[in-house]
Amino acid sequence: MQRVLLAIDRLSAFAGKVGGWAIVALTFAICYEVFARYLFRAPTTWAYDVSYMLYGALFMLAGAYTLSRNGHVRADFLYRSLSPRRQAMLDLPLYVLFFVPGMLALIWFGWAFFELSYLQNERSSVSPTGPLIWPYKFLIPFCGALMLIQGLAEMIRCVIAIRTGAWPEKLADVEETETKALALAEAQRAAAAAQAKGLGEAGR
């Protein structure tokens, strides 16, 4: 089971990192538009469409990746003080009640949204070039499916944590500064306690 969970993490990470390259393309497109508009007085007809499509693709593809790394925003000032078992007991019903129905709705309505666009061969109406827009809309149900798969993996992790009292291993490629600061503070407290104990024994 752990290998399956880590494989889902890798799938989400792959999608997120592919989406991350949209930042490079977006930067290039915006810089080109600025130079063309203000230096050569020749604004492009495609920069606006490209910018919102790349920006949207970036955020949608990063959703499952962020979930796999516990990176979504949460009010965790109380949550993080709980034991892993209690955290899982809180997370699991929230996934079932809110996350899964939300993702199923996103997939269902997103697919209908994409299908209509595809059948009409829809093009953008906000620029003269009018690029095809249905491939962009396909990302809505696709990324919803990625989020649902990652969410199911997180639900399985909740069940494991409830049974064992510890969170199963997850893939990690970044570490929050706060986590390092807490670990450093704990190490400093342990060193100070050990030093105080040594001085006390030497005094006796």
Q: Is the pLDDT of residue 178 over 60?
A: no
Which has the minimum average pLDDT: 58-62, 114-118, 124-128, 194-198?
194-198
The more confidently predicted of residues 84 and 128 is 84
CA distance 62 to 15: 7
Closest C-alpha among 136, 110, 128 to residue 55 = 136
User: pTM for the whole thing?
Assistant: 0.79
162-178 burial string, b = 16+ CB within 10 Å, else e?
Answer: beeeeebeeeeeeeeee
pLDDT in tens, 100-141: 999 999 999 999 999 999 999 999 888 777 889 999 999 999
The more confidently predicted of residues 72 and 123 is 123
The more confidently predicted of residues 191 and 81 is 81
Closest C-alpha among 150, 155, 141, 144 to residue 96 = 155
Predicted pLDDT of residue 183 = 64
